[in-house]
Amino acid sequence: MRAALILSLVLALPAMAQDKNAAPLDAAGFDQFTRGRVMDHYDGGALYGAEQYLPGRRVIWQDGEGCMRGHWSDTPEGLICFDYEGQETRWCWSYRTDAEGGLAAHLEGDTGGAPILLKPRAGRLSCPDLEPAA
């Protein structure tokens, strides 16, 4: 049993390393991956928020403080940047696919630290005032 676990981890390492070294997603790839999905966001293994990705580069963010609308755009440097209603801060990230079917995000494209992990969620956000029209 223990040998099988070790073997599975060793076999998974090249796939994880390959994804870590993959080129960041461009705007088209990011849109294709996220549109119509809700993605949970994890920092150090702890869930801290979720985002719903809508057509037209629109988003709804939800965390412990509530929900807010926003939109994303891309930069010439290849970052994906988010602006939210009522917020002055613009958040720019680079995204790569990960070996588990989600995304790894690095703030300002800085890959020196641990990434924020985005994992697809089967359910919806609980933001009834911001729900998009069907």
Residues with Cβ within 8 Å of residue 52, at least 6 apart in sequence: 37, 38, 59, 60, 62, 124, 125, 127, 132
Question: How many whole angstroms from its chain centre is CA 30?
Answer: 9
Tally the residues of the chain.
134
Task: Please report, in tens digits, the pLDDT of each residue of the chain (134 residues total).
Answer: 333 333 333 333 333 333 556 789 999 999 999 999 999 999 999 999 999 999 999 999 999 999 999 999 999 999 999 999 999 999 999 999 998 899 999 999 998 999 999 999 988 899 977 765 54
Write down all domains in the chain, each with its CATH number in brackets: 2-125 (2.40.128.640)
**pTM assigned to the model:** 0.80
User: Is residue 6 a contact partner of residue 80, using CB atoms and an 8 Å limit?
Assistant: no
Rounded CA gap, 133 and 3, in Å? 52
